[in-house]
Structures are given as structure tokens and as C-alpha cells.
Amino acid sequence: MGNSLACFSPKITARSSDSAGPARPDASPRPASWLPGSTSCKKNKKKREETAAAAEAEAADALIREQAIAAVMLLKQHWSGGGDENGDALHLFRRSTSTSGLFPSAPSGKSGVKQSIARSSTSRRRSCNDALLPPLQQILAEEASEADGVETKHFVLVHGGGYGAWCWYKTIALLRRGGFKVDAVDLMGSGIQSTDTNNISSMAEYVKPLIGIIDELGDGEKVILVGHDFGGACVSYLMELYPHKIAKAIFLAAAMLKNGQSFLDMFSLQEGPSDLMRQAQIFLYGNGKDQPPTAINLEKALLEDLLFNQSPAKDVALASVSMRPIPFAPILEKLTLSDANYGSIRRFYIETQEDYAIPASLQEAMIKSNPPEKVFHLKGSDHSPFFSKPQALHRFLTEISKIP
């Protein structure tokens, strides 16, 4: 503090001859303009303050610009599903050894204390010329080119038993942003399709909406079919009917059946029945209890544990009000699959490794029994990867579309 005040403690009397150090040639009092109360001193001090304020404002503006760019990119990452699987896209903007996001986070844990804005550990002043992120135009162009050079840009997404087209909402958004054309359809008695599930008596009837999409394809136009869960059996059924309309078939935690098998037969490959699945099943008897079941429903209280054990709460809530019974007749129907038709289409499998509905061991048994061209593994995914691992699922779908 003494050093900072020294300039405001002038010695007006001359230095004595015996003072330590050389004396000033002119020992007369300093000019009055040097005094702290003088106009000149005030001007100099004001100029220094203005310079410091301008430098601080420039640094603040640069930081605001950085944060504005980062905010745009973070929002874009959220829309496109970027970032890591927990929705954290901030890692794209972290610099040096900063340990937290650029922006204040929501209250953390029970303490409710918000984190402060992260700072870089470098001592160098940030510059407006620092290249934090690629230009927005460049990233948009890269996304739009995801579908370039592929055999077909058209995905058709087939939901599993009890689900509906609603379950694909994240995947639809991601694929469309990448330049793909995407169709997701409600099978009969599913989603908002009004047919009574108890009245569906065959696979042909169940997949009518899907057949409608394939029938509308132009000459030479092909699609990539993606089947989830029981949707895998539906995809297999279409592969047999339309081998020249299907470029690739992707089985996502799905029934990948062989000739003469039904969806129900698939579970014979499982070493032991799932207690959770057995507890969740509710058989419906639309023709009376003295007749075979007409549909299967799932106990809503067990949905999260069975199908959504790694999924966000908002998606579990969506599913809890959207799931519908599964028609029983198509589940029992044994498929006729020939090498000439079904066998001519390239198949790929995406395995979900935290799946309690079709466990990884059962998926691996199907893969071993009926090997596809390539297998992809979704680590940390439950039975509904379009909810629990949407970004990783999107990457796999895009990668498969590009396999020559």
C-alpha cells in the first residue's frame, strides 16, 4: 500500500547534502502541476482509468461474443442431439484445463448451489481473434452432407410392440437434419391408429400402413428399413415381399427371425424366462376368457424397469401415456423367409447392452443363429435406444447407410 501512495507524498523541501544517494540537481520544490490536487494530475489519472476501463470492456465484449457463439452452438447441439449421451454438449467449448461449462448450471444436488462461470487456466488475455468454434455455416454444411454418397437417403422406421411412431421423434429430427428422408408409421392398432388391437388377426393386417409406404415408392427407389423389437419381425416380413425395394435392413434390439420362426419362438433361444417380463405381461381376451388371448398389454408400473431403465424421465412419461396393447395373432405367426428374397437383402444388427426386455444374451443368440453382415453395440442403452442413446443410435444409422 505504501508504494501505491508514494506518488501522492511529495517532498517539497530540497534533499540535504548528506542524504543517501545522489541529490537532484534542482532541489527546488516540484511544480504545482505534479501535486495530487492539480488539474494535470487529475487528467492523467482519469486517462489511465479510461484506458483500463476500455481494455476491460473490450475483454468483456470478447467473452460475451464467445459465450454468444457457444450458446448458439449449444442450442444447435441440443436440437440435433449433439454432445455426449447425457446431453452435455458443453465439452465442445471447453478450453485449456477448465473444469466446468461456460454457463452457470442449474442447482446441483441437494445443496442448490449454482456453479460459477468457468474460466480458462491460461494467463493470456483472450482475444477476439481466437478461433473457438468452426463457423456455423461450416457445421450446417457438414450436417447437410451426411446423406451424400449413400445408396438411398430414405429411412423407414418401424416401431416395436406396444410403441408407435411417436417413439422415433428424436431419431427423425436427427436424420432429417442430416439430409435424410424419414418415414415413421403407426402400425395397425398402434400409436394414433384407431383399429382395435383385439381385432387384428394376422401379420399382413398388422403391417398394412408399412406396406402402403413401400407401395408408393417410385421405380428404382429403395429404402433402409429399421425395425425395433417386434418391428424386426415386421421388417423381415416386408423383406420377403419387397426385396427390390429395400436396400438394407437394420434390426434394433429386435427379433431377427429365421424361416419358420415366430416372434414367440424367438424367446425359446433364451436360457431362462425373464421374471420382469412375466410380471409385466397382461393378457387380454377380446373374444372371452374361454378363447385364446387377443392382445398383450404391459403393466404401466413396470414399464420403466422393463423398457426404459436408462431413459430420461420425460420420455418415460411420454411412453406411459402412449403405449398400447400388442396384437397377439401376429406374435404367433410363423414367417416364410426365403434365401432368394429375404436372404438377398443386407442385414445389420444394433445390440442394446442394458436391455431387460430382449436381453443382450438373447440378442447375441439370434445373431449367432442368423448372422447379419455387421453388429453394432450400444453400450449403456436400455430397450429403447431412441430415448436413452439417441445420438449414438443416429451415428450408427448414418454409418450403416454409408457402408458401400
Q: Which residues are catalytic?
A: 229, 355, 383
> Residues 360-365: contacts with CB within 8 Å, 24+ apart?
361/270, 361/271, 362/266, 362/267, 362/269, 362/270, 363/253, 365/269, 365/270
HEC string for the chain:
CHHHHHHHCCCCCCCCCCCCCCCCCCCCCCCHHHCCCCHHHHHHHHHHHHHHHHHHHHHHHHHHHHHHHHHHHHHHHHHHCCCCCCCCCHHHHCCCCCCCCCCCCCCECCCCECCCCCCCCCCCCCCCCCCCCCCHHHHHHHHHCCCCCCCCCEEEEECCCCCCHHHHHHHHHHHHHCCCEEEEECCCCCCCCCCCHHHCCCHHHHCHHHHHHHHCCCCCCCEEEEEECCHHHHHHHHHHHCCCCEEEEEEECCCCCCCCCCHHHHHHHCCCCCHHHHHHEEEECCCCCCCCCCEEEECHHHHHHHHCCCCCHHHHHHHHCCCCCEEHHHHHCCCCCCCCCHHHCEEEEEEECCCCCCCHHHHHHHHHHCCCCEEEEECCCCCCHHHHCHHHHHHHHHHHHHCC
